[in-house]
Amino acid sequence: MRDTKDLLDILTLSDEGNNNFSGVSKDIGSPNVFGGQVLAQSLNAAYRTVPEERILHSLHSYFLEAGNLELPIIYNVQTIRDGGSFSTRRVTAHQNDKTIFILACSFHRKEDGYEHQMPIKKDIKQPEDLLSWEDMRDQFGDFLPKKMKAFLSIERPISFKPVQVVNPFDQKDLPPIIDVWFKLKGDSTDLNLQMKQQILTYISDYNILTACLYPNASEANFGNTQMASLDHSMWFYRDFDFSDWMLFSVESPNTFGARGFACGNIYTRDGKLVASVAQEGLMRPHKKK
């Protein structure tokens, strides 16, 4: 995928009738289906069954099985409730006879109310002063581990610029935080809020578990640790656009028992809090031979 159009082609499902929708997968460098893709496609299916004036405010999900990149994914949407202000949907994703993912999501009609938000970090480096994944590949590719270079070489519809750049050969424990600027590639001017939320959900599964790895980086890395998303929750607050860089600011309060937990906030460049994310992931050390 090269740009926003390619991403939208993957996220927009085919209607199979009876609240069933079908989607295909795109390889992003993992042997299995990317969790963010399943999240966003499930949300696309749910939105197709909800009154137009109702907007997603939260989702909660579990990844049950690894998805097969070669097989289509069928999403079934169950209408749980349509109340006066809220609509609730349950989505199950299937490949063959296997359920690989479940999602519960809630939609709210627009209402006015009180307002406050946590501020964006002060004095954080701006994206113009940072290297993107593509820049890192071009400048340091000959010195990077093969798996990392291969991952950075995959074409993506999003550009990522991490604030904290870590030397993969400098094995030392780090604070459990990660801040990453991101921006869509290509034209994003005509996106409605429903589609922007689906894209943001897709992006939210990138980078988040890295914060769980950092406190044990003297021993743990992506090469010797089995990592996978176990669950994923999001809360959506305000409208936004993708015309400028956005910041995903993540911290990990805990890792224990081969699981890591991370949570974070997503901001616009001017400091508007758009969404919050929480995820627990598998962090299983490979057994030493």
| 87 belongs to the catalytic site | no
Nearest by Cα to 262 from 226, 218, 232, 235:
232
| 205 belongs to the catalytic site | yes
Backbone angles phi and psi of 171, in degrees to 5: -80, 95
Q: Are 215 and 174 in contact (CB under 8 A)?
A: yes
* Number of other residues whose CB lies within 10 A of the CB of residue 49: 16
Return the residue matching tokens 């581990």. 145
| 190 belongs to the catalytic site | no
Backbone angles phi and psi of 154, in degrees to 5: -75, 135
* Cα gap 229→109, rounded to integer Å: 30
Catalytic residue among 25, 41, 188, 229: 229
Catalytic residue among 61, 95, 197, 279: 279
* Cα gap 169→153, rounded to integer Å: 19
Amino acid of residue 193? L
Catalytic residue among 37, 132, 197, 205: 205
Q: Are 288 and 224 in contact (CB under 8 A)?
A: no
Catalytic residue numbers? 205, 229, 279
